[in-house]
Chain A
Amino acid sequence: MPEIRVTPLGAGQDVGRSCILVSISGKNVMLDCGMHMGYNDDRRFPDFSYITQSGRLTDFLDCVIISHFHLDHCGALPYFSEMVGYDGPIYMTHPTQAICPILLEDYRKIAVDKKGEANFFTSQMIKDCMKKVVAVHLHQTVQVDDELEIKAYYAGHVLGAAMFQIKVGSESVVYTGDYNMTPDRHLGAAWIDKCRPNLLITESTYATTIRDSKRCRERDFLKKVHETVERGGKVLIPVFALGRAQELCILLETFWERMNLKVPIYFSTGLTEKANHYYKLFITWTNQKIRKTFVQRNMFEFKHIKAFDRTFADNPGPMVVFATPGMLHAGQSLQIFRKWAGNEKNMVIMPGYCVQGTVGHKILSGQRKLEMEGRQVLEVKMQVEYMSFSAHADAKGIMQLVGQAEPESVLLVHGEAKKMEFLRQKIEQEFRVSCYMPANGETVTLPTSPSIPVGISLGLLKREMVQGLLPEAKKPRLLHGTLVMKDSSFRLVSSEQALKELGLAEHQLRFTCRVHLQDTRKEQETALRVYSHLKSTLKDHCVQHLPDGSVTVESILIQAAAHSEDPGTKVLLVSWTYQDEELGSFLTALLKNGLPQAPS
């Protein structure tokens, strides 16, 4: 039985590190290879030892597909390819290929800086890993090998994010990665055609949420920044190298322009130029508005946002600084935070999730006295704000995508169990398809029905036509024939032709069934009652009562006999040929309901 097997090693009922193994028609694909930033030991990577118990990874896996550049989707890739030893192809879109190494490098630097870790992948490993990448275009069908093909669809979420269709023969799986069904300031909405996959694996981060208006959040953010700089305060926005930072930059740049503000905005680590470069290069991946205005003005060439110098943090007066890393756990952003934390006029805005142990997590959870190195206590007087700008589809968006793709079944990943359960029920009710939500390490197996082309004989078709039934495109029709499987081909022919072709003799096969009736009368009388009942019920059929007492309806033969043990019961022996299978079943059911009371 052909089947599709899905085993999440990560993202099964969690949002930690996406890594999903899919086996489809004997081909094995790994979807995403993410890391968990909440751990600083081996637990940060998926446990790859479960991929194959024997043999080499490169022989087992046909390819790895990366949906987008966020570290929870690609962070373990250099470890997997350069340290665990996978040497096969890795597929991702062109922007992901360009931006992925920047984020990996950014994270490597933070990890090595902060922890002084030696057993971490190196810059060279990131580069060697990226050399194994095969970049794909949107909607381009890429042949991984003779049988396996993949195709990328636009996913929104971040620049270059894609959903992937994986196809082997007639079987297919769509993996959404993270996606957004509503356009934002620089990206469009996710889109997929009605590809009707056997399985849709979708993220479900906001499985139960209908997101509040994006405009409101943006207005709030701008208001807070504006108020702070107006009163002479400094605003720190810790961000990761690329992604959300660009969205916020556009937001501030536009606002500064509109309000004619002069307060300086800085971006640390020289990433603005890099971001510019990539957003220019991949302008086709942005939304329509950005593409349209690009000719007059490139949205990513910021007039108000300048490169940060380390000495600027001590400058007097208001300013806004974007600094890495995003969780305030090391480096530049932490240093600026330490300098500014003591002044209540200042503000820090955390635009994303922070893992436990980081200063970002501490201040977001309301801690205001932080123990720093050397038992110094840092009192946080500055304002702390959390502003979510993550671009995931909400419950409505997920349902919309399921409706668009029309899958045979759905599998939820990248979400919390409770919320998934709610969405699972909703999907099953609304779309009448099975919906799964495996935990990490659990395998979901889906039997599939491969579509096999079958030829039909002209003779058989003509016979159908003679019966006056003209074919209709949208109406399925039942057609009887004999399926001949010969030389790897399938043909449907009339049974006579099949017998002739295969040189076989015909055998008569009869199906039999016993029906027990409560009737104290003699067998002949019971048979007569059966005859009368059937005669009145089956007006279009030829019902006969034969001299030997048996009753026939077409090829169906009914005989009444006494029960060996119970004289009050009669046994009806019903038999029929396969041609009258339907009628036989109907009659049996009818007789099982009993006979009408005889008029007294």
Chain B
Amino acid sequence: MDPECSKLLPALCAVLADPRQLVADDTCLEKLLDWFKTVMETESSLHLLQDHPCLMELLSHVLKTQDVSPRVLSFVLRLVGIFAAQEDCFQYLQGELLLGLFGETGALSWTAWNMPSVRSGWIQGLCSLAHHPSALHFLADSGAVDTIFALQGDPSLFVASAASQLLVHILALAMQGGASGSPISEAAAWPICAQKIVNHVEESLHSKATPQVTQALNVLTTTFGRCHSPWTGVLWGRLSPPVACLFERDPIPAVHSLMDLLLSVARSHVLNFAACGLWEMLAQTLSRLSPTQAGPLALGTLKLQHCPQELRTQAFGVLLQPLACILKATTQAPGPPGLLDGTAGSSLTVDALLSSKSACVGLLCQTLAHLEELQMLPQCPCPWPQVPLLGATVTILRLCDGSVDPSSSMGGRLCGTLGGCVRVQRAALDFLGTLSQGTSPLELVLEVFAVLLKTLESPESSPTVLKKAFQATLRWLQNSHKTPNCSDLSPDALLFLGELFPILQKRLCSPCWEVRDSALEFLTHLIRHWGGQADFREALHSSEVPTLARQLLQDPESYVRASAVGTAGQLSSRGLQATSASPENPLAQQGLLMDLMHILSTDSEGFPRRAVLRVFTEWLRDGHADVIRDTEWFVATVLQAVSRDLDWEVRMQGLELAQVFLIQAMGQPSLHCPYTVGLPEATSPRPHPEFLQTLCRLPLFEFAFCALLDCDRPVAQKACDLLLFLRDKTTHCSGPQEAGDSPNSASVEAVLQRWREGEQGQPLGDLEPEAMLAILRSLDLEGLQGKLAKSSDHVEKSPQSLLQDMLATVGILEENEADCY
């Protein structure tokens, strides 16, 4: 502990022990504990206590009087736990103090025990303390374990959950000590503490009360999740019979916890599953649960590394059942192959789908999400029934948009239930997007495109549905390449685009900003992928889409303006500008450049300005025609606008652009910009003195120099990196004579003086390259870089600052405290 904190600690302890003093901010005690934990990582807690008697005084005071606030009581319990985590300190505190705080006559008997924060502090204190054999004896002797059992049923979720976690922690600690010799194959020979916990869990498993069963199952789930020693096999051997008995009850109690336990056990590396009957138990559970309950278990089973094929098939069947029902209910016989053909249809699934709207919607959403997750996993079942799954998903979307002609009464009822159901539509579109990864027959792909078009076109589609439809469409377009050149669009995709663009036009004019924005984002992706392809360009040009996208630069919603900037930038990069059919028309391009410059200097919101800088930086990197026409003018104009910007992210992006310019101008291909390699400018560096003149004239150097003092740390950091780069390059290139006295050293010194005094925003005036180099050499950029690398609040976040703040708030009006936001 540093001496300054040591000095402050007695006063703080006195404040904490004084019930009349309020601890002003409830986060302070949390942070104080964080600090003690950090200190304890490197120091002996025993020494700390001995060196700071004020701490013992605080603990003893609380023990004797308990007149402090519940939050201080809770703090003290947790603090003692942290101290006692070290065995020598535990011995030091063991006498009256530990028993007085954690024993039956301790916190449990206090009035403040009613407060969940105190009970929580008691548990957390014990959890910190339980790290050595002495702690185990203490826990066994003090009766604490029985209290923890009781706290498992605490009305506070936080306390109850922490109690269960603590039991697992104690069990693991006990077994860790016990397992040091030969593996204990008999649970009867386990340490007393462990036996007590296992007996309690076993007893709870036999209980008729579901909450108790749930608590026991949760303890076991956590145990198998955390502990991977051989003793867990013995534990399961003992407790699997009562767990199996739970399945014989009707209804099965605590289904979710039971499923979690089975999966947790199945993920364990130490058990011999075949011998312990786990697979049978899983199979039995899958067949007994309702489809909605069984879904998560089926997914969990399929995710297991080692699992018998038969069980995998059964689990996959559970996930496929609802979609199989959908197909069966809507397919005209004889139709294409369905899902799970030949197996008996699950009446339970049909019942769930037809029982109520919420049951149907819940089951379908869950199933679609599970299948989506499964398809992206390495454990994805093979063969994957791509075709029927795609068919079912398209059918669900059609049931939602009302375009299915039901072939059965069940189909009719499903139509009524799912018509216009946004939740199911969203889930189905998500899955549909994922299904694009598989190979599908052409007619089905066409069906997918048709249903996507219908969704995108429908006036009923909500903004969230449209967004997902756009995302799914993009994935299908990306994955539907059938031509030899994989990046090209297939003919069907092109036909689809022909129909899509008119719809996109409408969506760009939507009254909802969410829709306009999603449409623009989608369009930007399209152009990025296929902007170079002739057919795509033609399809795009024959629509009004580019013009509309350009018009959205004036959208009232800033998010949309920002997206429109991105789209316009992409269009222009690909020579697909809006106003002219001829891509070579320079006026139209120039118009966009000026429009974007206008946005950069006048838009009241940060998003569009940041978007403009992203576009400009990309243009500069890629050697956009407008930029290379007069790069200096371009960079100078951008930097001028950016230097006045109040949004620090804009200023930072301005520095990014300046860096790209520097790298290009110096002919240094950078890792950050691989495209510069091919550019003529990049390969032919300018003469050095002339280049330095340019930096002064732009004035790029001044911009970066002023940014070193920016009030926002990331900007200063970026500027520092940029100037270091510049200094390294110029030192390398400049001759020894340039490092000598500069002709205007007085002006350099004046600049540096102003800088040291922290004056910002004062123009440097006309600076000669030599002066610039002199300034660069005089700045301790490495030192500054080191300082800036720390977060800007490292001083305020220091323990000293915390202690000072806590002390300073003593006596401050209580009114300030409650006045939150």
Contacts and interface: CB of A to CB of B under 8 A. Distances in A.
A441 interface: yes
Contact of A386 (B161, B559, B816): B816
Contact of B820 (A72, A209, A269, A309): A72
A268 B644 CA distance: 12
B804 A15 contact: no
Interface string B683-715: 000000000000000000000000000011110
A274 interface: yes
Interface in B241-293: 256-257, 259-260
Interface stretch (A351-359, A400-408, A584-592): A351-359
Interface residues of A, number: 90
A38 B25 contact: yes
Interface stretch (B42-50, B327-335, B787-795): B787-795
A335 B787 CA distance: 17
Contacts, number: 211
Contacts of A105: 606
A357 B365 contact: no
Given A53-B260, A357-B802, A114 B713 contact: yes
Contacts of A364: 812, 816
B818 A113 contact: no
A356 B802 contact: yes
B605 A274 contact: yes
Contacts of B140: none
Given A330-B792, A332-B646, A362-B805, A390 B820 contact: yes
A71 interface: yes
A54 B792 contact: no
A413 to B, nearest CB: 13
A329 B27 contact: no
Contacts of B809: 361, 365
A25 B31 CA distance: 40
A7 B815 CA distance: 27
A7 B157 CA distance: 9
A34 to B, nearest CB: 9
Q: Which of A36, A54, A206: most chain B CB closer than 10 A?
A: A54
Nearest to A87: B426
Contacts of A335: 711
Contact of A367 (B604, B712, B808): B808
A205 B802 CA distance: 25
Contacts of B463: 131
A197 interface: no
A357 B796 CA distance: 5
Q: Which of B357, B804, B806: most chain A CB closer than 10 A?
A: B804
Interface string B193-218: 00000000000000000000000000
B648 interface: yes
B470 to A, nearest CB: 11
A262 B493 CA distance: 65
A334 B818 contact: no
A88 B423 CA distance: 8
Contact of A55 (B296, B605, B761, B800): B296
Nearest to B806: A356
Contacts of B426: 87
B514 A311 contact: no
B622 interface: no
Q: Which of B155, B157, B606: most chain A CB closer than 10 A?
A: B157
Contacts of A113: 648, 712-714, 792
Contacts of B802: 356-357
B158 interface: yes
B819 A390 contact: yes
A335 B711 CA distance: 6
A443 interface: yes
A70 interface: yes
A358 B804 CA distance: 12
B366 A56 contact: yes
Given A38-B25, A116-B791, A353 B812 contact: no
Contact of B801 (A109, A130, A357): A357
A359 B296 contact: no
Contact of B362 (A59, A309, A417): A59
A16 B27 CA distance: 9
A205 B814 CA distance: 12
B425 interface: no
Nearest to A145: B358
B547 interface: no
Nearest to A117: B791
Interface stretch (A371-379, A446-454, A468-476, A571-579): A371-379
A359 B792 contact: no
B152 interface: no
A374 B296 contact: no
B712 A372 contact: no
B467 interface: yes
A59 B366 contact: yes
Interface string B129-165: 0000000000000000000000000011111010000
Contacts of B161: 50
A372 B801 CA distance: 11
A14 B259 contact: no
B384 interface: no
Contacts of A43: 30
A214 interface: no
Contact of A310 (B610, B760, B806): B760
Interface of B: 24-28, 30-31, 70, 115-117, 155-159, 161, 256-257, 259-260, 296, 357-358, 362, 365-366, 369, 423, 426, 463-464, 467, 514, 517-518, 559, 604-607, 610, 644, 646-649, 711-714, 758-761, 787, 791-793, 795-797, 800-802, 804-806, 808-809, 812, 815-821
Given A123-B607, A356-B31, A362-B804, 13 more contacts: A58-B369, A109-B649, A112-B714, A113-B713, A130-B559, A205-B818, A277-B604, A314-B759, A330-B711, A332-B646, A335-B711, A441-B159, A442-B116
12 contacts: A14-B26, A47-B158, A58-B365, A127-B517, A146-B358, A206-B818, A331-B712, A365-B809, A371-B795, A372-B795, A441-B159, A442-B157
